[in-house]
Amino acid sequence: MSKGYFYIVTGKKYRDEMLVSFQQLRQHTKLPICIASDEKPAIECDHFIHITDPKFTYQDKVLNLDRTPFDETIYVDSDISFFHCPDDIFDGLGGADLLASHEASLGLGPVSQKANIPNAFPEVSSGLIAYRKSDAVMEMLKNWRAEYDSLYARHGIKADQPSFRRALFHTNIKFSILPPEYHYIPANFTRLVGPKVYCIHNHSFDFARKLGNTVNTRPMGDYSAYVDGLGVFRNPYAMQFKEVLNFNARCLRLLPYLLFRAGYISLKHKWWRKKL
Protein backbone atom coordinates (compact mmCIF):
# COMPACT_ATOMS: atom_id res chain seq x y z
CA MET A 1 0.00 0.00 0.00
CA SER A 2 1.52 3.31 -1.10
CA LYS A 3 1.66 6.32 1.23
CA GLY A 4 2.74 9.87 0.57
CA TYR A 5 2.23 13.60 0.93
CA PHE A 6 0.33 15.81 -1.49
CA TYR A 7 0.58 19.56 -2.19
CA ILE A 8 -1.91 21.31 -4.48
CA VAL A 9 -0.80 24.84 -5.42
CA THR A 10 -1.61 27.20 -8.26
CA GLY A 11 0.04 30.52 -8.97
CA LYS A 12 3.62 31.62 -8.34
CA LYS A 13 2.91 33.03 -4.86
CA TYR A 14 1.76 29.71 -3.46
CA ARG A 15 4.32 27.67 -5.39
CA ASP A 16 7.09 29.74 -3.82
CA GLU A 17 5.47 29.40 -0.40
CA MET A 18 5.14 25.65 -0.86
CA LEU A 19 8.87 25.30 -1.56
CA VAL A 20 9.67 26.30 2.03
CA SER A 21 7.13 23.86 3.45
CA PHE A 22 8.31 21.12 1.06
CA GLN A 23 11.95 21.47 2.13
CA GLN A 24 10.98 21.30 5.80
CA LEU A 25 8.81 18.23 5.22
CA ARG A 26 11.58 16.53 3.24
CA GLN A 27 13.90 16.87 6.23
CA HIS A 28 11.46 14.88 8.39
CA THR A 29 10.14 12.12 6.11
CA LYS A 30 11.41 9.61 3.58
CA LEU A 31 7.96 9.03 2.11
CA PRO A 32 7.29 10.31 -1.44
CA ILE A 33 5.85 13.79 -2.00
CA CYS A 34 3.55 14.71 -4.89
CA ILE A 35 2.94 18.24 -6.16
CA ALA A 36 -0.02 19.25 -8.31
CA SER A 37 0.30 22.67 -9.90
CA ASP A 38 -0.32 24.69 -13.05
CA GLU A 39 3.46 24.89 -13.53
CA LYS A 40 6.21 22.51 -12.50
CA PRO A 41 7.96 23.97 -9.44
CA ALA A 42 11.69 24.52 -9.23
CA ILE A 43 12.24 21.52 -6.97
CA GLU A 44 12.63 17.79 -7.42
CA CYS A 45 9.54 15.91 -6.23
CA ASP A 46 8.58 12.25 -6.48
CA HIS A 47 5.42 12.88 -8.51
CA PHE A 48 4.13 15.88 -10.44
CA ILE A 49 0.54 16.37 -11.61
CA HIS A 50 -0.20 19.12 -14.11
CA ILE A 51 -3.32 21.20 -13.43
CA THR A 52 -4.33 22.27 -16.92
CA ASP A 53 -7.35 24.42 -15.98
CA PRO A 54 -6.40 26.25 -12.78
CA LYS A 55 -8.98 28.39 -10.98
CA PHE A 56 -6.41 30.06 -8.68
CA THR A 57 -8.83 29.71 -5.77
CA TYR A 58 -9.56 27.16 -3.03
CA GLN A 59 -11.47 25.29 -5.71
CA ASP A 60 -8.19 23.95 -7.11
CA LYS A 61 -7.76 21.92 -3.93
CA VAL A 62 -11.32 20.59 -4.04
CA LEU A 63 -11.03 19.63 -7.70
CA ASN A 64 -7.73 17.79 -7.45
CA LEU A 65 -7.62 15.91 -4.14
CA ASP A 66 -8.82 12.74 -5.87
CA ARG A 67 -5.83 12.82 -8.24
CA THR A 68 -3.43 11.64 -5.55
CA PRO A 69 -1.13 8.82 -6.73
CA PHE A 70 -1.15 7.22 -3.26
CA ASP A 71 -3.45 4.72 -1.56
CA GLU A 72 -3.13 6.77 1.64
CA THR A 73 -2.45 10.49 1.41
CA ILE A 74 -1.69 13.40 3.69
CA TYR A 75 -2.70 16.59 1.90
CA VAL A 76 -0.69 19.63 3.09
CA ASP A 77 -1.39 23.34 2.59
CA SER A 78 1.50 25.39 1.22
CA ASP A 79 2.04 27.38 4.44
CA ILE A 80 2.54 24.57 6.96
CA SER A 81 5.81 24.38 8.90
CA PHE A 82 7.16 21.03 10.10
CA PHE A 83 9.11 20.37 13.30
CA HIS A 84 8.89 16.58 13.62
CA CYS A 85 8.15 13.64 11.33
CA PRO A 86 4.36 13.48 10.84
CA ASP A 87 4.34 9.97 9.33
CA ASP A 88 2.47 8.46 12.27
CA ILE A 89 -0.63 10.35 11.12
CA PHE A 90 -0.98 7.44 8.71
CA ASP A 91 -1.42 5.13 11.70
CA GLY A 92 -4.67 6.96 12.46
CA LEU A 93 -6.06 5.82 9.13
CA GLY A 94 -6.11 2.30 10.52
CA GLY A 95 -9.44 3.10 12.17
CA ALA A 96 -10.74 5.87 9.93
CA ASP A 97 -11.09 6.84 6.28
CA LEU A 98 -10.20 10.50 6.86
CA LEU A 99 -8.45 12.55 9.54
CA ALA A 100 -8.46 16.32 10.02
CA SER A 101 -8.06 18.76 12.91
CA HIS A 102 -10.68 21.01 14.47
CA GLU A 103 -11.04 24.47 13.00
CA ALA A 104 -10.35 27.06 15.68
CA SER A 105 -13.70 28.81 15.01
CA LEU A 106 -15.55 25.51 15.65
CA GLY A 107 -17.66 26.16 12.57
CA LEU A 108 -19.87 28.76 14.22
CA GLY A 109 -18.75 31.78 12.22
CA PRO A 110 -21.22 33.69 10.00
CA VAL A 111 -19.86 32.16 6.79
CA SER A 112 -20.06 28.64 8.18
CA GLN A 113 -23.63 29.23 9.33
CA LYS A 114 -24.66 29.53 5.68
CA ALA A 115 -23.66 25.91 5.22
CA ASN A 116 -26.86 25.09 7.15
CA ILE A 117 -25.31 22.36 9.30
CA PRO A 118 -26.20 21.78 13.00
CA ASN A 119 -23.94 23.74 15.33
CA ALA A 120 -23.12 20.55 17.22
CA PHE A 121 -21.36 19.19 14.12
CA PRO A 122 -17.81 20.58 14.08
CA GLU A 123 -16.00 22.31 11.27
CA VAL A 124 -12.63 20.78 10.55
CA SER A 125 -9.68 22.43 8.91
CA SER A 126 -8.92 21.50 5.31
CA GLY A 127 -5.30 22.64 5.68
CA LEU A 128 -4.05 19.15 6.50
CA ILE A 129 -6.14 16.10 5.60
CA ALA A 130 -5.19 12.44 5.77
CA TYR A 131 -7.40 10.20 3.67
CA ARG A 132 -7.71 6.83 1.98
CA LYS A 133 -8.16 6.46 -1.75
CA SER A 134 -11.27 4.32 -1.34
CA ASP A 135 -14.50 4.40 -3.32
CA ALA A 136 -16.33 5.93 -0.35
CA VAL A 137 -13.79 8.72 0.11
CA MET A 138 -13.68 9.46 -3.61
CA GLU A 139 -17.48 9.77 -3.55
CA MET A 140 -17.24 12.16 -0.58
CA LEU A 141 -14.70 14.28 -2.50
CA LYS A 142 -17.08 14.34 -5.46
CA ASN A 143 -19.86 15.56 -3.16
CA TRP A 144 -17.49 18.17 -1.72
CA ARG A 145 -17.05 19.61 -5.22
CA ALA A 146 -20.83 19.76 -5.67
CA GLU A 147 -21.30 21.41 -2.26
CA TYR A 148 -18.56 23.94 -3.06
CA ASP A 149 -20.23 24.91 -6.33
CA SER A 150 -23.61 25.16 -4.59
CA LEU A 151 -22.44 27.40 -1.73
CA TYR A 152 -20.48 29.60 -4.15
CA ALA A 153 -23.49 29.99 -6.45
CA ARG A 154 -25.96 30.70 -3.61
CA HIS A 155 -23.83 32.71 -1.19
CA GLY A 156 -20.60 33.60 -2.99
CA ILE A 157 -18.56 31.58 -0.48
CA LYS A 158 -15.04 31.11 -1.83
CA ALA A 159 -13.68 29.33 1.25
CA ASP A 160 -13.67 25.55 1.00
CA GLN A 161 -14.29 24.55 4.63
CA PRO A 162 -18.05 25.25 4.82
CA SER A 163 -18.61 22.93 1.85
CA PHE A 164 -16.19 20.39 3.37
CA ARG A 165 -18.31 20.44 6.51
CA ARG A 166 -21.45 19.75 4.50
CA ALA A 167 -19.79 16.93 2.60
CA LEU A 168 -18.66 15.29 5.84
CA PHE A 169 -22.06 15.74 7.46
CA HIS A 170 -23.78 13.92 4.61
CA THR A 171 -21.21 11.15 4.16
CA ASN A 172 -21.02 7.63 5.55
CA ILE A 173 -17.23 7.47 5.70
CA LYS A 174 -15.54 7.07 9.06
CA PHE A 175 -13.59 10.20 9.96
CA SER A 176 -11.78 11.25 13.10
CA ILE A 177 -10.16 14.35 14.58
CA LEU A 178 -6.40 14.87 14.66
CA PRO A 179 -4.92 16.12 17.94
CA PRO A 180 -3.90 19.80 17.64
CA GLU A 181 -0.22 18.87 18.00
CA TYR A 182 -0.32 17.46 14.46
CA HIS A 183 -1.81 20.59 12.90
CA TYR A 184 -1.62 23.64 15.13
CA ILE A 185 -3.21 26.90 14.03
CA PRO A 186 -2.18 29.68 16.44
CA ALA A 187 -5.27 31.26 17.95
CA ASN A 188 -5.71 32.82 21.36
CA PHE A 189 -6.24 30.19 24.09
CA THR A 190 -8.28 27.95 21.79
CA ARG A 191 -6.33 24.71 22.11
CA LEU A 192 -3.88 23.32 24.62
CA VAL A 193 -0.90 21.43 23.22
CA GLY A 194 1.84 19.34 24.73
CA PRO A 195 5.58 19.97 24.31
CA LYS A 196 5.79 18.21 20.94
CA VAL A 197 4.07 20.04 18.09
CA TYR A 198 4.55 18.45 14.67
CA CYS A 199 3.12 21.17 12.39
CA ILE A 200 2.23 24.85 12.72
CA HIS A 201 -0.02 26.43 10.11
CA ASN A 202 0.77 30.09 9.47
CA HIS A 203 1.72 32.11 6.37
CA SER A 204 4.75 33.53 8.19
CA PHE A 205 7.36 30.77 8.38
CA ASP A 206 9.50 32.99 10.64
CA PHE A 207 6.59 33.39 13.05
CA ALA A 208 5.87 29.64 12.96
CA ARG A 209 9.54 28.85 13.59
CA LYS A 210 9.59 31.13 16.62
CA LEU A 211 6.49 29.49 18.07
CA GLY A 212 7.68 26.00 17.19
CA ASN A 213 11.06 26.52 18.83
CA THR A 214 9.28 27.78 21.95
CA VAL A 215 6.69 25.06 22.37
CA ASN A 216 8.98 22.18 21.36
CA THR A 217 11.47 22.96 24.12
CA ARG A 218 8.96 22.79 26.98
CA PRO A 219 9.22 19.91 29.49
CA MET A 220 7.09 16.78 29.16
CA GLY A 221 3.66 17.14 30.71
CA ASP A 222 3.71 20.94 30.41
CA TYR A 223 0.64 21.81 28.38
CA SER A 224 0.35 25.28 26.93
CA ALA A 225 -1.75 27.47 24.64
CA TYR A 226 -0.89 30.27 22.27
CA VAL A 227 -1.47 33.69 23.83
CA ASP A 228 -2.26 36.21 21.12
CA GLY A 229 -1.54 39.27 23.25
CA LEU A 230 1.96 38.04 24.05
CA GLY A 231 2.73 36.14 20.85
CA VAL A 232 4.04 33.13 22.79
CA PHE A 233 2.93 29.76 24.18
CA ARG A 234 2.07 29.78 27.87
CA ASN A 235 0.33 27.58 30.39
CA PRO A 236 -2.85 29.61 31.03
CA TYR A 237 -2.89 28.49 34.67
CA ALA A 238 0.73 29.37 35.38
CA MET A 239 1.40 32.69 33.68
CA GLN A 240 3.85 34.93 35.47
CA PHE A 241 2.42 38.05 37.08
CA LYS A 242 4.34 40.39 34.75
CA GLU A 243 3.00 38.47 31.76
CA VAL A 244 -0.57 38.90 32.98
CA LEU A 245 0.03 42.64 33.35
CA ASN A 246 1.58 42.81 29.89
CA PHE A 247 -1.36 40.91 28.41
CA ASN A 248 -3.91 43.15 30.14
CA ALA A 249 -2.03 46.27 29.01
CA ARG A 250 -2.23 45.14 25.39
CA CYS A 251 -5.93 44.44 25.80
CA LEU A 252 -6.48 47.96 27.15
CA ARG A 253 -5.00 49.38 23.95
CA LEU A 254 -7.95 47.84 22.13
CA LEU A 255 -10.51 49.47 24.42
CA PRO A 256 -11.12 52.62 22.27
CA TYR A 257 -11.64 50.45 19.19
CA LEU A 258 -14.00 48.11 21.04
CA LEU A 259 -16.06 51.05 22.34
CA PHE A 260 -16.26 52.53 18.85
CA ARG A 261 -17.21 49.16 17.41
CA ALA A 262 -19.92 48.66 20.05
CA GLY A 263 -21.39 52.08 19.27
CA TYR A 264 -21.33 51.40 15.54
CA ILE A 265 -23.09 48.06 15.93
CA SER A 266 -25.64 49.59 18.29
CA LEU A 267 -26.51 52.33 15.80
CA LYS A 268 -26.56 49.91 12.90
CA HIS A 269 -29.05 47.60 14.57
CA LYS A 270 -30.85 50.42 16.46
CA TRP A 271 -30.94 48.47 19.71
CA TRP A 272 -31.52 51.71 21.64
CA ARG A 273 -34.82 52.24 19.84
CA LYS A 274 -35.99 48.73 20.74
CA LYS A 275 -35.36 49.44 24.43
CA LEU A 276 -37.40 52.63 24.21
Taking all residues of the chain, what is their mean pLDDT, rounded to a whole number? Answer: 86
Pairwise CA distance, residues 208 & 213, whole Å = 8
State pTM to two decimals: 0.82
Which amino acid would we find at residue 268?
K
User: Which pLDDT score is estimated for 190?
Assistant: 58
Parallel, antiparallel or unpaired: strands 175-178 and 98-102? parallel
Q: Which pLDDT belongs to residue 274?
A: 52
Q: Identify the CA nearest to 246 among candidates 226, 224, 230.
A: 230
| 78-117 residue pLDDT tens | 999 999 999 999 999 998 999 999 887 655 567 777 777 8
Three-class DSSP category at 193: strand
Residue 227 has pLDDT above 90, yes or no: no
Which residue segments constitute the domains of the chain, with CATH numbers given? 3-181 (3.90.550.10), 182-239 (no CATH), 240-276 (no CATH)
Q: What does the pLDDT read at residue 192?
A: 75
Encode pLDDT of 235-267 as tens digits.
Answer: 766 666 666 666 677 677 767 877 887 777 777
What pLDDT is attached to residue 193? 81
Binned at pLDDT 50, 70 and 90, residue 217 comes out as confident
Which residues have a Cβ under 8 Å from the Cβ of 77 and sit 6 or more positions away? 21, 126, 127, 128, 201
What is d(CA 56, CA 61) in angstroms, rounded to the nearest whole number? 10
pLDDT at 256: 81
The pLDDT, as a whole number, for residue 178 is 94
Whole-number Cα distances in Å, 169 to 62, 134, 196: 16, 18, 31
Residue 228: which pLDDT band, with cuts at 50, 70 and 90? Answer: low
Quick: pLDDT tens for 120-178. Answer: 888 899 999 999 999 999 999 999 999 999 999 988 989 999 999 999 999 999 999 99
Q: What is the pLDDT at residue 58?
A: 94
Return the pLDDT at 206: 95
